[in-house]
């Protein structure tokens, strides 16, 4: 709370200062209602390009457009007031070079009001991260399994095993040195995640990484159990809302077919009720 009693929204500076402190609680959010539910409990709400699969039914994040991210970023900002809102930069909006990345990031922040952007990549993206941060754009980085590079990886497999561990470590150090305020570590061995967390001076936020990271993030639809056919190893389901929703819809359909709904309490009379008194 601020001195005026209004809620102060967290900033990238606040999240950066949490290195080695209280764990950073993060979830994805794509809509105003979900943002409103998650906001009081979270430090970071990520408008992830995972919305391509979760909301739009794409097979990957690759078809997601900048306009989609902006539209959903606006919605999440309208539904939140406490958490730092970070918007993913979609595939093709930043890889061509720092100037392209700046134009995309500037548009995201200006049109959504969000507090930061996130982009994928390590050593190769460090110059772009430095370019953005030097121009006032807070950047969250993302190394390890980077879904926008799924075609290069040949799937969504664990990264950083064996000799590949050094590359992940180099990537994490590069983005930290370039000015990122935090870095997502995705689908890495726990021991490597712990090493990265110990060796860089910005917070690490794990997804399929390690409990030793400075924070954690999950796709909210996975955590709430909205989909029964997707159960990644790194997700803990805290509810089974998909099953509950399926039953509720079945009950509704049964009531409609049996003419139990709408009932008398849901209907309007011919005349408006007279005021009391």
| 271 found inside a domain | no
The mean per-residue pLDDT over the stretch 60-76 comes to 97
Report d(CA 175, CA 179) in Å as an integer.
7
Domain boundaries, position 97: 12-241
Report pLDDT digits (tens) over 222-268: 999 998 677 788 899 999 999 999 999 999 999 999 999 999 999 99
Point out the residues that are catalytic.
Answer: 186
The mean per-residue pLDDT over the stretch 163-173 comes to 97
- Mean pLDDT score of the chain, rounded to an integer? 94
Structural domains in the chain (count) = 1
SS3 state of residue 124: helix
| 261 found inside a domain | no
For residue 38, how far is the Cα from the chain centroid?
11
The yes-or-no verdict on residue 56 having pLDDT over 80 is yes
CATH number for 61 = 3.20.20.60
Above pLDDT 70, what percent of the chain? 96
The yes-or-no verdict on residue 100 having pLDDT over 80 is yes
How close are the terminal C-alpha atoms of the chain, in Å?
Answer: 44
Q: What's the whole-model pTM score? A: 0.93
- The answer on whether 251 is annotated among ligand-binding residues is no
| 162 found inside a domain | yes
Above pLDDT 90, what percent of the chain? 86
| 56 found inside a domain | yes
| 50 found inside a domain | yes
Spell out a b/e string for 67-80, using b for 16 or more CB atoms within 10 Å of the CB, else e.
ebbbebbbbbbebb
pLDDT computed for residue 148 by the predictor: 86
Q: For residue 70, what is the DSSP state?
A: H
- The answer on whether 274 is annotated among ligand-binding residues is no
Q: Which residues contact 115 (CB under 8 A, 6 or more apart)?
A: 9, 10, 11, 12, 84, 85, 86, 109, 138
- The answer on whether 50 is annotated among ligand-binding residues is yes
| 257 found inside a domain | no
- Is the omega angle on the peptide bond into residue 108 within 30 degrees of 0, that is, cis? no
pLDDT computed for residue 163 by the predictor: 94
CA distances from 62 to 14, 75, 240 (A): 31, 21, 28
5-9, 102-106, 120-124: lowest mean pLDDT where? 5-9
Nearest to 113 by CA among 18, 17, 45, 204: 45
């Amino acid at each position: 709370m601020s001195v005026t009693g209004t809620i102060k929204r967290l900033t990238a500076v606040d999240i950066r200062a949490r290195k080695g402190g209280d764990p950073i609680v993060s979830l994805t959010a794509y809509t105003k209602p979900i943002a409103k539910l998650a906001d009081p409990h979270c430090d970071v709400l990520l408008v992830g390009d995972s919305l391509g699969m979760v909301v739009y039914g794409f097979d990957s994040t690759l078809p997601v457009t900048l306009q989609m991210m902006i539209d959903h970023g606006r919605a999440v900002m309208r539904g939140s007031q406490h958490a730092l809102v970070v918007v993913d930069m979609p595939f093709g909006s930043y890889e061509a070079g720092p100037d392209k990345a700046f134009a995309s990031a500037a548009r995201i922040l200006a049109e959504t009001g969000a507090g930061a952007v996130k982009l994928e990549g390590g050593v190769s993206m460090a110059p772009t991260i430095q370019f953005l941060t030097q121009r006032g754009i807070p950047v969250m980085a993302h190394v390890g399994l980077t879904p926008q590079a799924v075609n290069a990886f040949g799937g969504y497999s664990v990264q950083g095993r064996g000799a590949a561990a050094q590359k992940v470590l180099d990537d994490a150090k590069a983005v930290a040195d370039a000015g990122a305020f935090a870095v997502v570590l995705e689908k890495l061995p726990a021991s490597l995640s712990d090493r990265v967390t110990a060796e860089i001076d910005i917070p690490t936020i794990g997804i399929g990484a390690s409990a030793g990271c400075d924070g954690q993030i999950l796709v909210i639809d996975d955590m709430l159990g909205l989909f029964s056919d997707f159960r990644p190893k790194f997700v803990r389901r805290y509810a089974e809302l998909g099953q509950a929703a399926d039953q509720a819809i079945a009950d509704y359909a049964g009531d409609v077919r049996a003419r139990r709904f709408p009932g008398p309490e849901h209907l309007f009379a011919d005349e408006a009720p007279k005021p009391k008194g």
